[in-house]
Amino acid sequence: MKAQRRSILKKLFASVASVAGLGLTSEPVAEPTVPNEASTASGSQDIPLYSGSKRLGNLIFVSGAGAHFEGDIKAHTDHVLKEIEKELIKAGSSMDKVLKVNVFLNDLNDYKAMNEVYKGRFGSKPPVRTTVAVRAGVPGDSLVEIDCIASV
């Protein structure tokens, strides 16, 4: 009885470790399949540097969007959120279905003004969010960059 229970627990632990990617089993673990994978490429080269969005199952991952023009934080935030919304729609989702947002600010002093534009853009139940000021600045002289994860 004890040996049978130990065997069951060992198999259970091995399957959990395998799913968690701990690699503790001696059996090879198959690479996960990618159902419904879709992407929209960004960049001007023949081979893009990154995808504007990727879909995995029922999730859409939208890459960071910035604003590369003269303007203040409110103009940049508005532009970036509109770009995010376009990418979500193109990928089959919407702002209401965003689950997680990362906001990267060039200057933490812009937090309040960014929030004024951000507020209400994701529906009545806003997504979870992380906001940080990037020490070396946001690439391309944008005052803000935003990425997100949404459901379909």
* Confidence at residue 27, expressed as pLDDT on a 0 to 100 scale: 47
pTM: 0.71
What residue spans define the domains of the chain? 1-31, 39-151
Q: Do 79 and 111 form a contact (C-beta atoms < 8 A)?
A: no
The Cα 94–Cα 56 span in angstroms is 16
Helix (H) and strand (E) counts for the chain? 3, 6
* Confidence at residue 28, expressed as pLDDT on a 0 to 100 scale: 46
The Cα 113–Cα 111 span in angstroms is 6
The Cα 103–Cα 145 span in angstroms is 6
* Confidence at residue 67, expressed as pLDDT on a 0 to 100 scale: 97
* Confidence at residue 100, expressed as pLDDT on a 0 to 100 scale: 98
Assigned CATH for 39-151: 3.30.1330.40
Mean pLDDT by 10 residues, the chain (152 residues): 57 50 46 51 64 95 96 98 97 97 97 98 95 92 97 96
* Confidence at residue 139, expressed as pLDDT on a 0 to 100 scale: 87
